[in-house]
């Protein structure tokens, strides 16, 4: 047996010593800079107009008044009329203006007409019409499925049945793998048939389930004296950190994007932005001086504030 | 207990004296009419029988005195003190979290009182000394309150921390001999989501013992 004995208390360097956090002096003095504290020169502020309905078809969008408002620099329709917004808060229109209050004014001027639709209220039943709506898996859906640890069996089954609506290059598959996709899933994506995205199709309805097994649960059940079965659930629990979600981004030239972003997943996000933006492989620098979100609120990149 | 942070049941008289905008009084007084410094070119209208100055709707000249320094700004009248500090003056220690006078992350000191900067308009804060957390340090030397936070691990993510430090300071300035229990109640206007309250209480106890 190797000798694992500790030095005596007087000769220990860390254990039993009082250690102050290295970041505390910055935090208590207000000098710690969080994403929201960083202001670039001539910075624009973004706002997102979001669906107020759990599920609704977007009938029409009128951005004309917002575009005419002085100080508004860009108005971008994220989901065109005809699309189905999938949740209360789904992005509909994004805009940028010279300051936050102008952006808020502009957001209020955007008129969106919705046609509310039936939505899922029970997580034990699939939403009405889910089967008809299921279309090929988009790249976004694939990221979501990987992030949510969709079981391989369901993932590959969906790909085999519905195909994909994106072109999986090896670079992208490498990113999928880095994000946790198994080789079986990557193979299934390679083999999946390509289909044009289905207009109006929602996201894939997949079932989230635990997949990890250690030991032999079947044997344990067969030997158990008592088996109690039940369906258990908890309401949605969202933790609520104080820091605002969002990012401050700078394009110093066409090949570079510098982002200050509230996340604990700095390395993971670097791979995800190029796929969400149309340029491929620019140089990225992610600067995270401080984040108040280290308790897990901000794993995925979140656009807008 | 004399305490700015606790709801005041009998604060009507104070509000009528126009003594300013304490955190709880804020909701009870007419914001615009409490502005102390007239700005040239403002219009007077009569509302509810009283003359009320009208600013804007465009940008107006605003002068703020922050940490002893005067700043001349051009702001829309709707801009809060907090946004003016953060977006115009790059004084970002005060944080915007709830933006509705609940969490205390934006706490600053105006005229010796702990104030939610999110709920005071910049035009209202003119002519009064405004103190922010940035003024507490002397170079790299922390204020004893800040040192007590460090020594007692009273911050985690740190987003609420400047607000707590400022609230501590404002309370101790008024109640230098506060007990840990009084300090605890003095901080009841501030929230922490990480749950550093234990560290905050230890810091309060240390400050009560040693003085700040």
SS3 A71: coil
Please, where in chain B does CATH 3.10.20.30 lie?
A: 12-134
Structure-token match 């508004």, residue found: A72
Structure confidence by residue, pLDDT tens digits, B65-91: 999 999 999 999 999 999 999 999 999
Distance (Å, rounded) from C-alpha A102 to C-alpha A110?
Answer: 13
Provide CB contacts within 8 A for B120, sequence distance 6+.
B21, B26, B31, B80, B81, B82, B110
Q: Which residues of chain A from 88 to 127 reach within 8 Å of chain B, CB to CB? A: 99-101
Q: Which stretch of A91-100, B8-17, B143-152, B200-209 has the lowest confidence by average pLDDT? A: B8-17
- Residues of chain A with C-beta less than 8 angstroms from the C-beta of B161: 27-28
Residue A296 is predicted with a pLDDT of 39
Q: Which residues of B49-69 are buried (b: 16+ CB within 10 A; e: fewer)?
A: eeeeeebeeeebebebbbbee
Supply the pLDDT for residue B211. Answer: 77
**With contact defined as beta carbons under 8 Å apart, do B176 and B136 qualify?**
no
Q: Are B190 and B163 a contacting pair, CB within 8 Å?
A: yes
pLDDT value at B23 more than 70: no
What burial class does residue A238 get, using C-beta atoms within 10 Å of its C-beta: 0-12 exposed, 13-18 middle, 19+ buried? exposed
In this complex, the residue of A26, A101, A240 whose CB is nearest that of residue B193 is: A240
Helix axes A170-178, A183-191, angle to 10 degrees: 150
**pLDDT at residue number B10:** 39
Position A305 scores a pLDDT of: 26
Which is nearest to A99 in space by CA: B132, B86, B108? B86
* Contact yes or no for A101 and B94 at CB 8 A: no
Backbone angles phi, psi at A287, to 5 degrees: -110, 120
Which value, to the nearest 10 degrees, does the dihedral of the CA atoms of residues A94, A96, A99, A100 take? 10
For position A277, what pLDDT does the model report?
54
Q: What is the pLDDT of residue A290?
A: 64
DSSP-assigned states of every residue in A191-258: HSPB-PPPTT--------------S-HHHHHHH-S----------------SSPP-EEEEEEETTEEE
Assign domain B12-134 to its CATH architecture.
Roll (3.10)
Residue numbers in B near A24 (CB within 8 A): 149-150, 153, 155, 158
List for chain A the helix, strand, coil content (%; round to 5). 30, 20, 55
- In a structure prediction context, what are the per-residue pLDDT tens digits for chain A, which is 305 residues long? 677 788 888 888 888 888 888 999 999 999 998 888 988 888 999 999 999 999 999 999 999 999 999 999 999 999 999 999 989 999 999 999 999 999 999 999 999 999 999 887 666 565 565 555 678 888 888 988 888 788 888 899 989 988 999 999 999 999 999 988 999 999 999 999 998 876 655 454 444 555 567 788 889 989 999 998 887 778 777 777 888 878 888 888 777 777 888 777 776 776 666 555 554 444 455 555 566 554 434 444 333 22
Which of A29, A290, A293 comes nearest B146 by C-beta? A29
Per-residue pLDDT, A302: 36
Which pLDDT does position A109 carry in this prediction? 98
Range list for CATH 1.10.150.120 in chain B: 136-210
Phi-psi region of B87 (alpha: psi -120 to 50; beta: other; left: phi over 0): alpha
Nearest chain B CA: its distance from A294 CA (Å):
7
Give B147 to chain A, closest Cα distance, Å: 8
Q: Looking at chain A, how many residues does it have? A: 305
Name the CATH superfamily, with its identifier, for domain B136-210: [2Fe-2S]-binding domain (1.10.150.120)
The more confidently predicted of residues A168 and B35 is A168
Please confirm whether the linkage preceding B57 is cis (ω < 30° from 0): yes
User: How many contacts, defined by CB atoms under 8 Å, are there between A and B?
Assistant: 98
Going from the N-terminus, what domains does chain A have, and what CATH number goes with each? 45-116 (3.90.1170.50), 135-191 (no CATH), 240-305 (no CATH)
How far, in Å, CA of B41 to CA of B33, rounded?
16
Contact (CB<8Å) B150/A292: no
* Inter-chain CB proximity B87 and A24 less than 8 Å: no
* Chain segment B177-192, per-residue pLDDT in tens: 999 889 888 899 999 9
- Structure tokens that stand for A299 in this block: 């794993």
Q: What local confidence, expressed as pLDDT, does residue B37 receive?
A: 43
């Amino acid at each position: 047996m190797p000798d694992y004995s500790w030095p005596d208390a007087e000769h220990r360097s860390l254990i039993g010593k009082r250690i102050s956090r290295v970041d505390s002096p910055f935090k208590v003095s207000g000098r710690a800079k969080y994403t929201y504290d960083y202001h670039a020169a001539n910075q624009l502020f973004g706002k997102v107009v979001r669906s107020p309905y759990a599920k609704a078809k977007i009938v029409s969008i009128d951005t004309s008044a917002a575009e005419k408002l002085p100080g508004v620099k860009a108005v971008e329709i994220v989901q065109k009329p005809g699309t189905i917004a999938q949740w209360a808060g789904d992005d509909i229109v994004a805009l940028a203006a010279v300051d936050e209050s102008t952006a808020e004014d502009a957001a209020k001027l955007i008129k969106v007409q919705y046609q509310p639709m039936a939505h899922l209220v029970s997580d034990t039943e699939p939403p009405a019409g889910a089967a008809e709506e299921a279309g090929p898996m988009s790249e976004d859906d694939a990221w979501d499925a990987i992030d949510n640890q969709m079981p391989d069996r369901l993932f590959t089954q969906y790909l085999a049945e519905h195909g994909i609506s994106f072109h999986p290059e090896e670079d992208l598959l490498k990113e999928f793998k880095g994000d946790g996709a198994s080789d079986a899933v990557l193979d299934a994506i390679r083999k999946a048939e390509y289909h044009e995205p289905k207009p109006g199709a929602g996201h894939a309805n997949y079932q989230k389930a635990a997949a990890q097994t250690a030991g032999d649960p079947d044997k344990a059940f067969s030997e158990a004296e008592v088996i109690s079965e039940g369906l258990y659930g908890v309401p949605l629990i969202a933790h609520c950190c104080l820091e605002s979600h969002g990012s401050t981004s700078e394009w110093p030239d066409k090949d570079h994007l510098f982002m200050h972003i509230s996340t604990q997943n700095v390395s993971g996000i670097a791979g995800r932005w190029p796929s969400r933006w149309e340029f491929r492989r620019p140089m990225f620098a992610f600067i995270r001086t401080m984040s108040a979100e280290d308790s897990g609120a901000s794993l995925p990149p979140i656009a807008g504030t | 207990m004399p305490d700015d942070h606790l709801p005041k049941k009998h604060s009507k008289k104070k509000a009528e004296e126009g003594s300013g905008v304490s955190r709880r009084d804020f909701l009870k007084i007419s914001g615009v009419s409490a502005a102390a410094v007239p700005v040239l070119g403002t219009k007077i209208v009569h509302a509810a029988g009283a003359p009320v100055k009208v600013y804007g709707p465009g940008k107006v000249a605003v002068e703020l005195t922050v940490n002893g320094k005067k700043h001349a700004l051009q702001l829309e009248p709707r801009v809060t003190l907090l946004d003016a500090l953060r977006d115009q003056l790059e004084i970002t220690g005060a944080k915007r979290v709830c933006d509705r006078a609940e969490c205390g992350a934006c706490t600053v000191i105006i005229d010796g009182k702990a104030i939610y900067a999110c709920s005071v308009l910049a035009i209202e804060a003119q002519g009064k000394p405004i103190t922010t957390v940035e003024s507490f340090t002397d170079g790299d030397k922390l204020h004893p309150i800040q040192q007590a936070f460090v020594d007692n691990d009273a911050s985690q993510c740190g987003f609420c921390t400047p607000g707590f430090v400022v609230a501590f300071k404002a309370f101790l300035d008024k109640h230098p001999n506060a007990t840990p229990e009084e300090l605890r109640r003095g901080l009841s206007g501030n929230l922490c989501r990480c749950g550093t309250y234990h560290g905050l209480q230890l810091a309060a106890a240390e400050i009560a013992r040693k003085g700040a």
